[in-house]
Structure 1
């Protein structure tokens, strides 16, 4: 415990982050340390560590028989029927061919539906994805509503044929639109009713709970010339519900809620009272790697050799000491990380509110993972 606390204290003292909360749980033993302007009660923008929560909501609908993993999504998302694909990833957006098959629910969960970000950010087809859909640092109040967003996406050609390549981020946002339409609810209502309320995750949603924006930490951006810059204050973009609830990175949550979700996965989909929130099979599917060795290599910038399950990475190598085989989870662009190891019951959570400067995990995350792995 002292070592974990010292790690956070030193990183706050040297200006690495303004604040941090860290948790390491091994069975019933739980270590928590807090430092700087974050506490265990703070609300944080969890960014992409919400992707597993989004995938869980999709799998709940699979469990309920609303659709199957191999069903084409165009039944619920007709905008994505008869898609066009750039002839090669390097082709201009006007040089396209027809998609060779429909996009399936499985494609979205595996992030292999043809939409998203590759290692090469200079590809011409990425310009409209970034320019029209605001797929940069999260700005929830500046994104168009879901129907308009999906219509805009449908006008942009896919970068790869369905199933061909792993691409980052956008598939989780499409999952959000799918869950909304298949459930007949807005995404925030569907997630609250089907996932967050059954688990008792009262702090989790697409904005701070009503009257509790003061618990939300500022969001910072690193400044090489001095103190970090505040890019979103507590009363900023996450203080009110957004027009577009982003399944890829729009959730607010707390340490206890993130731990609750991780423990649900470890228990095979059960809430604390023993009720199944999702099936054990669905949890197994979430935490299994689906990428080929070549797809992992092509996505090295993001995955660093890891595989991908549904909504998160799956370690398939031991390239680093923290890579216990089978570790599942992900990192978020607001300086967050949440992982679990199904075979050992280990849970690790690190929450900061300082934006990452790229897809590579910052030194504090790696230091924390080494500590959690015991060396």
Structure 2
């Protein structure tokens, strides 16, 4: 009996995943695709398609290094929660307690940078607002408001050549919030601010905190803020979708800024990693905060993180003011670092109550299903992540192959 069969999956149905990914690559829609599926911590299936560097014909490998962008956010959130567990910071702390320069932050009323008119916040921003993206902060790429235009003007989201974390936080103190904390959900630089809080509360640089509290205990040997010399031959090229179809090179792995340490240690999007490394992180989460004897968080803390924290129990379609308000988020809320399914039928795809997940700008993704004890990691390098619905398709294919369920 195969491992897949012994863990409740149909090997024949899992093979659909390989065909599906190969079709994307063969059609020129993706440069490469890697998918790893595990149950109860054991790898059930792995699929590889395409080349990590099509310009040079370098094949995709199991240990290819990818830019994971916003899949950095759950790692930052976990690091912050380790400090919460130690009583060094609390979810209901006013952010201004830790960032005094933010004490008088106002909400946008009118004007453009630098002549903004503001009104007072209805209540102070709390640490929980940063973790669940209800802070009132935004992203420059949203292209929706005068506030995000100011983010673009100040190049707030530049990892390389911009400000460091301290300077980043000082720049944000000059700008208004888009809304009063807790009033809406808006995808934002909130997790970068969480990274700053981790660094400040722990009293050491963010990369050192990640290494000490997460990467070394979990043996995530290929995850960091830049590509080391010994990883360069494994670093993937990143592509951008062309408006008329097809893809074009966006970041060459031989000249990429990721080859050196960034100025801004971005807890919101700065890490590179491998599928194997990220699967270890996901397996720690599904296992209640522990993996192979390394305890990162307590089970109750993981459950708290994987609960819907949107005010009033709303879902993202009701609360979102950003690019993530589409109907595919029906029945999906947001926890402390990732999206959380709380009403599976509304999602219109097979999934479990309490399943949580997130993805990155280059179309990478992961999910954790505590009910079925399933973890999955998808890696590719195509910007933007909204180009194809491949992440939803993969979940449908996986659950279409799961023959023995726990629910």
1:133, CA displacement in angstroms?
3.5
**In the alignment, what sits opposite 2:75?**
53
1:142, CA displacement in angstroms?
3.6
Change (3 A) 1:332 1:71: same
Pair member with larger Rg: 2
1:73, CA displacement in angstroms?
2.3
Query: Structure 1-normalised TM-score?
Result: 0.91
**In the alignment, what sits opposite 1:356?**
384
**In the alignment, what sits opposite 1:287?**
306
Change (3 A) 1:213 1:53: same
Report the secondary structure of 1:71's partner residue.
coil
1:210, CA displacement in angstroms?
3.6
Distance 1:104 1:227 in 2: 43
Contact map agreement 2:106 2:177 (CA 8 A) in 1 = yes
**In the alignment, what sits opposite 2:33?**
20
1:226, CA displacement in angstroms?
6.5
Distance 1:147 1:117 in 2: 18
* Cα shift readout 1:128-151 (whole Å, capped 9, x = no counterpart): 12321444xxx5214311111111
Distance 1:119 1:227 in 2: 22
The 5-angstrom pairing of residues 105-254 of structure 1 reads: 105-117=127-139, 121-135=143-157, 139-225=158-244, 227-235=246-254, 236-254=256-274
Change (3 A) 1:193 1:242: same
Report the secondary structure of 2:45's partner residue.
strand
Contact map agreement 2:241 2:387 (CA 8 A) in 1 = no
* Cα shift readout 1:183-212 (whole Å, capped 9, x = no counterpart): 111111111111111111111111113431
Contact map agreement 2:71 2:358 (CA 8 A) in 1 = yes
Residue 105 (structure 2) pairs with residue 86 (structure 1) = no
Change (3 A) 1:67 1:134: closer
Distance 1:118 1:151 in 2: 17
Contact map agreement 1:46 1:253 (CA 8 A) in 2 = yes
Contact map agreement 2:315 2:333 (CA 8 A) in 1 = no
1:315, CA displacement in angstroms?
1.3
Change (3 A) 1:120 1:6: closer
Structure 1's unaligned 5+ residue stretches are none
1:126, CA displacement in angstroms?
1.8
Distance 1:207 1:265 in 2: 24
* Cα shift readout 1:224-277 (whole Å, capped 9, x = no counterpart): 45652222122311111100011111110001111000110111111212x321
Distance 1:64 1:74 in 2: 20
**In the alignment, what sits opposite 2:50?**
36
The 5-angstrom pairing of residues 95-106 of structure 1 reads: 95-106=117-128
Contact map agreement 2:368 2:374 (CA 8 A) in 1 = yes
Equivalent pairs, count: 366
**In the alignment, what sits opposite 1:340?**
368
Distance 2:368 2:224 in 1: 22
Contact map agreement 1:348 1:372 (CA 8 A) in 2 = no
The 5-angstrom pairing of residues 271-282 of structure 1 reads: 271-273=291-293, 275-282=294-301
Distance 2:275 2:124 in 1: 39
Change (3 A) 1:278 1:190: same
Distance 2:22 2:28 in 1: 10
Report the secondary structure of 1:86's partner residue.
strand
Query: Structure 2-normalised TM-score?
Result: 0.85
Change (3 A) 1:147 1:29: closer
- Between stretches 111-120 and 316-325, larger displacement belongs to 111-120
* Cα shift readout 1:23-58 (whole Å, capped 9, x = no counterpart): 222233511000111321100001111211110000
Contact map agreement 1:109 1:310 (CA 8 A) in 2 = yes
Distance 1:48 1:210 in 2: 24
Residue 281 (structure 2) pairs with residue 265 (structure 1) = no
1:118, CA displacement in angstroms?
10
